[in-house]
Amino acid sequence: MKLHIRRKSIIVLLCILSFTFGGFVFQKVEEEKISRILVKQAQEIFALEFTDTEIDTMLEDLDGQRKSLIALRNLNIQNSVSPALNFNPLPVAYQFPDQSNYFKVAPLQSVKMPSNRDELAFYSIPKLAALLRTKQISSTELTRFFIERIKKYNSVLLFSISITEERAMKQAKKADAEIAAGKYRGILHGIPFGIKDLIATKDYKTTWGSVPFKEQHIDLDATVLTKLENAGAVLIAKLTLGELAMGDVWYGGKTRNPWDIKRGSSGSSAGSASAVAAGCLPFAIGSETLGSIVSPSTECGTTGLRPSFGRISKHGAMALSWSMDKLGPITRDVQDCAIVFNAVLGADGKDLSVITAPFSYTSPLTTSLKGTRIGYIKSEFNRKYANSANDSLTLIKLKEMGAELVPVELPELPYRDMLIILSAESGAAFQDLSLTNRDDLMVRQDKNAWPSGFRSAHFIPAVEYIQANRARTILIDQLHKKMKDIDVFVAPAFGQNLLATNLSGHPCVVLPNGFRNGLPGSITFTGQLFGEGKLLKVAGAYQKATAFNEKHPSMNF
């Protein structure tokens, strides 16, 4: 038997809650009644103060609650089962910014095969699609090209867990036959891609990047994968994630940044960002709960879209936090994000948190932002941080493009304290690891790693979890009011905004905005809830005017 917590009062509470150690339950806990002294010691942990008389009235209830906890644990609920509570990020009487569905990508001039085929590694989706549609290259050839690049660079960058070669070649041959027969499915037809390995694929393992699950097979294809394959895209790789969606360290090592292989790629969509940045995939699907698209995209210089919560079905994806998890694309540019997003959004009848809403997008034909009101979080831009020089230049550039810059501030709320929502939900999602001690198998075991967090989550009272969600309601309402008079707002990639908008469910685009010491920096554009159409158009105009995304790592390693 082991104890991870030293304080006497916490040990007492462990007895109250009948915590399981080594696969068995303390028999004495089930037999003995909870006493007044145990409650008095335990309430110190939760900053509570009840009188002896008040405690006496609680004892029978506490005995019953303990029995209920044990009964619920014995259900052995799987990660795939979501709570019968759905987070809805919409303010009261909210009207969607997009009023209709409309999607149009700007037409390309004639696209020719490059004399050096290696240049294909960094072509955008429309360029690759044009080559496929005009039969200058086959999907089979293109798929083989990217698979060979993955094999070449993965040994250094460690971004791939499984190369889905057999499945990919079958899909590519099918795409070639359909295109030859005039059955063109659209711009993603025949385009290779990868997915973060927390997304289920029935004929390959889905490891969640974690030692306890590294041989796990889930017998289904996630909705996001099915939608992409229905659009004709070709899955070629399942990509690394920091173990159970934290950081860039997984059971096979540390995923690397192709700009500097001495650095990690950040996470948790570590492999998705690294592989796209390295030109080993045209696009990939990542996920974000609290920065897992923004952070690796910043580190690796990719462009990522974190959609509004409820835009894309998470069916078949690992749950870390049912009310904060979001799937989204990591790509070469904003337009590619829009293309992938358009293919995967919408309800599937399997993820009840999905909200059906219009998406209207046209590629920006010019770089003018005249008439666009862009907020900027003044207090965050005023502080000194690693990318502050590039971020200040971004504001100057937006003004040059004709945008009206409006200073704004986030609502004054205790964002970090509200993250007990994530702590409680992740602790529930992986309770079995804590109760069976399989958390000891995980790679990271420091105080800031998941094993410690999952254990401490058991000490978050349900009442306080609900209070944190009520604070979230206040955030949604206040942020909505602040955004009524602006189209989007910009903010540094890291800071209070990252916490606030992941809690509120707002969408953001993260994209490169310069370099420092040879490494890319990035900035985020945040849009109205379910306002991805305007968000992508504004961010795309800025990207078109700056073209930082067109620079790529040398790959000399």
Residues involved in catalysis: 196, 268, 292
Which residue carries 């991805």 as its tokens?
A: 532
- For the chain, what is the total number of helices (H) and then of strands (E)? 20, 19
Distant-in-sequence contacts of 163-168, Cβ < 8 A, 24+ apart: 163/236, 163/237, 164/201, 164/203, 164/204, 164/235, 164/236, 164/237, 164/238, 165/236, 167/201, 167/203, 167/204, 167/235, 168/143, 168/192, 168/234, 168/235, 168/236
Q: Are strands 160-163 and 234-239 parallel, antiparallel or unpaired?
A: antiparallel
Q: 406 phi and psi, to 5 degrees?
A: -120, 120
Q: What single-letter DSSP state applies at residue 101? A: -
* Distance from C-alpha of 172 to C-alpha of 170, rounded to nearest angstrom: 5
Q: Are 408 and 497 in contact (CB under 8 A)?
A: no
Q: Are 321 and 82 in contact (CB under 8 A)?
A: no
Residue type, 365: L
Q: Which two tokens mark 201?
A: 């694929």
DSSP string of 214-266?
A: TT---SS--HHHHHHHHTT-EEEEEE--STTTSSSEETTEE-EETTEEEEE--
Contacts of 433 (CB under 8 A, 6+ apart): 212, 439, 442, 451, 454
